[in-house]
Structure formats: structure tokens, C-alpha cells
Chain A
């Protein structure tokens, strides 16, 4: 399966970046070492490719009818009730729960779908201005300062993860700016992750004791998510596209 080769890739990259970091630290000055522990990154230090953030969704623990991850995301990022003029087709959706049912077997599941934070995101490829980009630590974002609102990324995204804002917004959250005429999507709660907190959806899911979402560093083999991925099978949605997504699913 491509899953295993992807994971092997991750492990290899992990090793290489670690090795690079160690030599880098050694080169700075004798007696001065960069710490590579899991502690908080200082506010003035840039994110690096030594980490790759990801989420494992265990759909076996996803309760049908539960929408807590979605409401937590709305609350944190200020979407959901912010667009009174837009019709339902036009309203933004950063994360949604999807009910699926196998047509021949009847097997049914509920699962959340949001930006899959691909390693090679089609939205980033097609964006004419580079507003759509992948941060060094794997989080795919829209730089709304240079987004011109052409919506080509929405055409290219295989997951329908992106939304366009169809009207003027007011009272946005300071940590999640968003506005008319630009495209937006799940940011993996980058404002929280940068402060060593977990995304709002993951927090809400564990607060309810569902624990269907595990967030962590895919490159850190000791992280909970890496261990869980190594121990049991998981898949990417539309794995055929070979995008090596940061969001992985179990039980579908």
C-alpha cells in the first residue's frame, strides 16, 4: 500500500531533518545547543520542516449525529453564524460531518471532513498569486492579504474543503481574520498550534470523551499520533491522488 511507503518517507525525512538539526546545532558554537525537545517554540522563532502536524480521525469513535468538532471550530474561528445574507450553498464550511453509506453493503459511518493539509496540495499548485501556501510544518493556509478571490483553489481541491466569503463580515476573531472576497479553509487552528495548544475540534472531541481525533507531530515517532498510525491501519481520503494528506482516517 502507498500508506506504508508514505510513512516510510516520513520516517526517512524525520531522520534526515533530525540529523540536519544536530549538525546545525553543532555548527553554531561549541557549547551552544539548539534544543529539539517538544517544548513551546519561542514566539519569535519561525516554524520549521522538522515537524509536520497531522490529525488521525478514528471514525469508529465518531458518534452519528455528533457535531461537536464542527461547533467548536465555528466558535473558535468565528464562522457559521457570520453570514446572514448568504444562502446555505454560499455559507462557509471549514469542517463538516459527512454521513456515508455503502451502496451495496449498507455499511454506514459518520466522519468529519476538513482541509486535509496535503503534502502536495492541489490548491497550492493552482493558486496564481501564491496566496494558497503550505507552511513549513505542513499546515495549508490562505494568505488572505494576497488572495484575489479567483476561486481556482476551490475548483482544484478534491475535498471541497475551501469556502469563499460571499459578503461583508463583522466582528471577526482577532486570531482568525477572514473577510469578503477571499477564500478560506481549516487552518488546523494555527493560532493555537503556534502556542502549543491543540486544535479546537480535537479539544472538543476529547472533552466529550469521544477521543476520535488525535492531533500531533507526524515526524515525531514518539508522538501519540505517530504511534497510533504505526500500530494500526489508516487511510487517506482519495488516496489514489497520492497527496499524502496530514489528516488520516481509521475505520472507513
Chain B
């Protein structure tokens, strides 16, 4: 028989805990200041322009939103697919999903030209807009996940948590489909306008979300001196490996399809060959450092068993994720719209030119603030509520798992 699982708040009395809390709060305060400055001055103090319409805040926001959806994956595997090994991780998974989504939404909202009109976004809806659907999907995701968490954590309601888990699982797939479709539905842009954007974002969410989950889990158990067994960690890192490979597959298919169509040779050449920073980010950071290197580390017979190596691999996946989103978002906009195929174009409004983008410190601060907010929510939540099992050592979660390798 397996031991009964005890969830317990973290103690949160150590200096380290307060330093973490204070550090995150400080980052959030700085980000708040940066945001106030941007909103007061207007977007002219940012690197964004009428050519690069969406910038660094959107890279951060989309990373957080996509990772939020993926972070819930761990809970879904336990609930929907009935894998007992993942069940003890369900609560943290749900919490992380909520925290990351909140962080992402705050960044997205504070970058609006008129954040003071948030109420308008909530009261006027254009139902043909994928953005409007996403507003509903994001709010719904928060609600669904909170209910799911409550049913999971309230002993008397435990019997209902499976259906809730199923709803949350379907909801998050739709949510990430919606996020991907923000780009997939942009018919006019060479670099977007592809149905594959939606499933690619779903797979990206699996990978990003799990990487964040592994890092948070390792940090939480390491800093609180709670035991974290190899079984669960190796299972998670192997899963991460599968997701990294799946993202690579989608990137490959996306680019191969574009390469086949002459129409898209311009943008492909830009991203893959002579796009300067975007080409470097794509090959070196996204593919090399962010995908192939962590894949090798995860599946290496000895390195793959080392905890620092697993943590590093997860961190590299996140680095690669930022590179990937930067290339998709900024790279896709830097390449000019094609109004006259076969023509050289020039104008006072930078038609036909590749536009440069250098993010300002303000927008980076806002984005980092979103990450800090997500982490702060997690830190406080595990301190006040019972999210983390006291132990995740091999014997505690599933004594047979280690032997059977199932």
C-alpha cells in the first residue's frame, strides 16, 4: 500500500523565504513604476512603433499565458488520464496555471494604449474577434481552474473533481488554440496566417508549462528541504523531452510548408538565413540552446540523472521559448508586408523595409514584473494553503512505480 499523502503549507519562516518574497515584491514595484512611466509618457518611450506593433510585453505575456495552459497539463495527466503518479502534483499544477495566467494577463493589459479602459474590454464584445473570445477563454480558465483546485483540495468534494479536471483539460486546449489563432487568423501577414499556429501553440504550451513546473517543483522542494524522489522527477523530465521533440516537429513542418511555397520564400529566407538577430535567435537559441541541448541533456544516460542538469535543461527550454516567441512575434512583424509581389517598394512609412526593434528597459521591466507576480502568487499561496505534499519521495507516491517503470 502506498503511504497516505499529506499536503502541508510550507513553513515560510526562513530568511530565504522573506528574501524571495521581498525580492519578487521589489521587482513588481519596479515594473509598476516602469508601467506608470510608459502610460504617462505614451508608447513613444518604448521600442514599439507603428512598424513593430507588438513588442517585448507581448513576448512575456504570451509566454506566461501559453505556459499557464501547459502547467495545468500535469494535473490533467493525473485526473483525465488517470496516472496515479501525477496526482500528488495536481494542486501545484493548478496553482501554477492560475498564477502564470494572472501574470501574463497583467502584462498584456498594462501594455494597452488605454489600460484605464479595461472595463470597456469587459463590456463591449465583438464576437467575431478571436481576441474577444480569448478574453472569455482566459477569464473562464481562471474560474474553471479555481473550481477544479477547490474540488481537488476539499476532501468532501473530492468525488466531483474528475469531471472538473476534464472540463479544465478541454478548456485549456481551447484556450491555447485561441492564443495560437491570434496569429493563425492574421490572413494578411506572410509570417502568420497558418492553421498550424493553433496546434503548434498547444504543443509549445506543453513544453513551456512543464519546464516551468519542473523548475518550480525542484525549487520548492529543495528550499523547503522536503524530499523529492527520482521516480517523479525522471518521469517529468522524460515527458519534457517528448514535448521538446514535438515542438521541434511542428517548427519543422511549419517551415517546410512555407519553404515549398514560393510566395513565402521571402519570410523564410529572412528567418532562416539573413534576418540577423532573428536568424541567430532561431538557430542558436531556439533550436540549439533551447531544444537540442536540453534534449541531449535529458536523454543522456548519466547527465540525465543529475538534478542540476535536469534543472538546467528546464531553464534552457524556457530560454528557447522566449527566443521562439521573439522570432515569431517580432521577427514576423519586422519582415515587411507584401503589398506588391515582385516589386521593390519604398515610402516615408517604411514600406518594403525590414524594421529594427530595440526593446526599452520599461517594456522589459513590465514583462519581468509579470513573471515576478506569477512567482509571488505561487510563493504566497504555498505558504498559506496546502498545495505541496510533505514528501514526494519514491516510496510515498507509488512504491510500485520505481520497480515496474510504469
Q: Do A and B touch each other in the complex, judged by CB within 8 A?
A: yes
Instruction: Tell me the total A-B contact number using a CB cutoff of 8 A.
Output: 171
Across-interface contacts of A130 in B (CB, < 8 A): 124-126
Choose among B54, B115, B126, B348 the residue that contacts A127 (Cβ–Cβ < 8 A).
Answer: B126
Choose among A86, A100, A180 the residue that contacts B344 (Cβ–Cβ < 8 A).
Answer: A100
Across-interface contacts of A147 in B (CB, < 8 A): 113-114, 117
The answer for the CA separation of A127 and B185 in the assembled complex, in Å, is 12
Whether A128 lies near B132 (C-beta < 8 A) is yes
Whether A126 lies near B339 (C-beta < 8 A) is no
Given A90-B50, A148-B118, A166-B42, A100:B340 Cβ within 8 A: yes
The answer for the CA separation of A99 and B352 in the assembled complex, in Å, is 10
Q: Is B120 an interface residue (CB 8 A)?
A: yes
Given A89-B50, A148-B120, A159-B339, A167:B112 Cβ within 8 A: no
Q: Is A252 an interface residue (CB 8 A)?
A: yes
Whether B188 lies near A157 (C-beta < 8 A) is yes
Given A96-B347, A150-B113, A160-B349, A125:B129 Cβ within 8 A: yes
Cβ contacts B325-369/A at 8 Å (1 or 0 each): 000000001000101101111111111000100000000000000
Q: Is B121 an interface residue (CB 8 A)?
A: yes
Whether A97 lies near B347 (C-beta < 8 A) is yes
Across-interface contacts of B42 in A (CB, < 8 A): 85, 165-168, 180-181
Choose among B52, B135, B344, B349 the residue that contacts A103 (Cβ–Cβ < 8 A).
Answer: B344
Please, could you name 7 A-B residue pairs with CB atoms under 8 Å apart, sorted by A?
A: A83-B44, A98-B339, A98-B351, A128-B126, A152-B182, A160-B339, A181-B42
Shortest Cβ gap from B345 to chain A (Å): 5
Shortest Cβ gap from B134 to chain A (Å): 8
A 52-93 contacts with B by CB, 8 A: 83, 85-93
Shortest Cβ gap from B51 to chain A (Å): 5
The answer for the CA separation of A157 and B53 in the assembled complex, in Å, is 12
Across-interface contacts of B117 in A (CB, < 8 A): 146-148
Given A148-B112, A149-B112, A89:B53 Cβ within 8 A: no
Q: Is B261 an interface residue (CB 8 A)?
A: no
Given A96-B349, A160-B349, A181:B112 Cβ within 8 A: yes
Whether B50 lies near A163 (C-beta < 8 A) is yes
Whether B351 lies near A160 (C-beta < 8 A) is yes
Choose among B114, B182, B340, B346 the residue that contacts A181 (Cβ–Cβ < 8 A).
Answer: B114
If A128-B135, A157-B188 are given as contacts, then 6 extra A-B residue pairs at C-beta distance below 8 Å, sorted by A number, are A86-B44, A89-B350, A113-B339, A148-B121, A160-B351, A238-B339
The answer for the CA separation of A113 and B121 in the assembled complex, in Å, is 31
The answer for the CA separation of A165 and B41 in the assembled complex, in Å, is 11
Across-interface contacts of B342 in A (CB, < 8 A): 102-104
Across-interface contacts of A91 in B (CB, < 8 A): 50
Whether A129 lies near B346 (C-beta < 8 A) is no
The answer for the CA separation of A131 and B124 in the assembled complex, in Å, is 9
Shortest Cβ gap from B138 to chain A (Å): 12
Q: Is A212 an interface residue (CB 8 A)?
A: no
Across-interface contacts of A181 in B (CB, < 8 A): 42-43, 112-114
Among A88, A100, A131, A241, max chain B CB count under 10 A is at: A100
3 interchain residue pairs of minimum CB distance: A149-B113, A181-B113, A158-B188
Whether A238 lies near B188 (C-beta < 8 A) is yes
Q: Is B156 an interface residue (CB 8 A)?
A: no
The answer for the CA separation of A99 and B353 in the assembled complex, in Å, is 12
Whether A182 lies near B124 (C-beta < 8 A) is no
- Identify the closest chain B residue to A150 (Cβ): B112
The answer for the CA separation of A53 and B185 in the assembled complex, in Å, is 28
Choose among A93, A101, A156 the residue that contacts B349 (Cβ–Cβ < 8 A).
Answer: A93
Across-interface contacts of A127 in B (CB, < 8 A): 126, 129, 131
Shortest Cβ gap from B213 to chain A (Å): 29
Across-interface contacts of B48 in A (CB, < 8 A): 90
Q: Is A215 an interface residue (CB 8 A)?
A: no
- Identify the closest chain B residue to A163 (Cβ): B50
Whether A148 lies near B113 (C-beta < 8 A) is yes
Whether A98 lies near B113 (C-beta < 8 A) is no
The answer for the CA separation of A85 and B44 in the assembled complex, in Å, is 7
User: How many residues belonging to A are interface residues under a CB distance threshold of 8 Å?
Assistant: 58
Interface residues of A (CB under 8 A from B): 83, 85-93, 96-104, 113, 122, 124-131, 146-152, 154-160, 162-168, 180-183, 237-238, 241, 252
Whether B187 lies near A158 (C-beta < 8 A) is yes
Across-interface contacts of B188 in A (CB, < 8 A): 122, 156-158, 238, 241
Whether B345 lies near A98 (C-beta < 8 A) is yes
Choose among A156, A162, A183 the residue that contacts B113 (Cβ–Cβ < 8 A).
Answer: A183
The answer for the CA separation of A157 and B54 in the assembled complex, in Å, is 14
Given A130-B126, A148-B118, A148-B121, A99:B346 Cβ within 8 A: yes
Across-interface contacts of A98 in B (CB, < 8 A): 339, 345-347, 349, 351
Whether A146 lies near B124 (C-beta < 8 A) is yes
The answer for the CA separation of A128 and B109 in the assembled complex, in Å, is 13
B 113-155 contacts with A by CB, 8 A: 113-115, 117-118, 120-121, 124-126, 128-132, 135
Q: Is B186 an interface residue (CB 8 A)?
A: yes
Given A128-B121, A148-B114, A103:B187 Cβ within 8 A: no
The answer for the CA separation of A85 and B41 in the assembled complex, in Å, is 9
Q: Is B49 an interface residue (CB 8 A)?
A: yes
Whether B41 lies near A167 (C-beta < 8 A) is yes
Whether A126 lies near B131 (C-beta < 8 A) is yes
Across-interface contacts of B189 in A (CB, < 8 A): 155
The answer for the CA separation of A35 and B273 in the assembled complex, in Å, is 63
- Identify the closest chain A residue to B338 (Cβ): A238
- Identify the closest chain B residue to A67 (Cβ): B348
Across-interface contacts of A102 in B (CB, < 8 A): 342-344
- Identify the closest chain B residue to A160 (Cβ): B337
The answer for the CA separation of A92 and B51 in the assembled complex, in Å, is 11
The answer for the CA separation of A62 and B51 in the assembled complex, in Å, is 26
Across-interface contacts of A162 in B (CB, < 8 A): 50
Whether B50 lies near A101 (C-beta < 8 A) is no
Shortest Cβ gap from B54 to chain A (Å): 6
The answer for the CA separation of A92 and B43 in the assembled complex, in Å, is 13
